Amino acid sequence: MELNKIKPAAGSKRNKKRVGRGIGCGSGKTAGRGHKGQKARSGGYHKVGFEGGQMPLHRRLPKRGFQSLTAGKTAEVRLDTLQKMKLDTIDLNALKQAGAVPQLASRAKVILAGELKRKITLKGGVFASKGAREVIERAGGSVEQPSTIEKAGS
């Protein structure tokens, strides 16, 4: 096999159909658009979901549910993940560097899952659930409360 002799398989490539080029081509005159109407005109077409003036389906159905804009920004961290980390003071950047939370996370929350047997301090942007806070404080650590401005934004 030589690179300069490679060709596509027979019948796999077809020429583009040129419409509106006379009666002999089979798709002349109306060029496959039928007779008159909005779809036959150039530039004439309706938007997606348009039902001829009837109230579209997506507007007839009731609104349901809620999409939180901040749902993907808060990452959950388990206590046993903090146990494995070598640092004593843990903030959001430390969690990102350790790979415990995604780089796009703007805050993290420690949840009560696993065990913690060493003293740690949680700082800036790292929250803790009620149960996780108790376990951290029982192990001799502390959770520094974020300012009220950060709480309002979360």
> Is 117 part of a structural domain of the chain?
yes
For residue 57, is it within any domain? no
- Supply the range of the domain harboring residue 135: 74-153
Listed in sequence order, the residues at least 6 apart from 54 whose beta carbon sits closer than 8 Å to its beta carbon are: none
Round to whole Å and give the CA distance between 147 and 150: 6
Residue 128 lies in a domain: yes
Instruction: Please report the pLDDT score of residue 147 as a whole number.
Output: 54
Q: What is the pLDDT of residues 52-94, one digit of tens each?
A: 899 999 999 999 999 888 778 889 999 999 999 888 999 999 9
The pairing of strands 74-78 and 126-128 is unpaired
Residue 99, in any domain of the structure: yes
- CATH number of residue 97's parent domain: 3.100.10.10
Reference 125, options 97, 86, 98, 153; nearest CA is 153
Whole-number Å distance between alpha carbons of 39 and 21: 19
Task: Check: CB of residue 74 under 8 Å from CB of residue 94.
Answer: no
**The pTM is what?**
0.53
Give me the number of domains the chain comprises: 1
As a whole number of angstroms, the distance between CA 116 and CA 105 comes to: 23
- Tell me the pLDDT band of 25, cut-offs 50, 70 and 90: confident
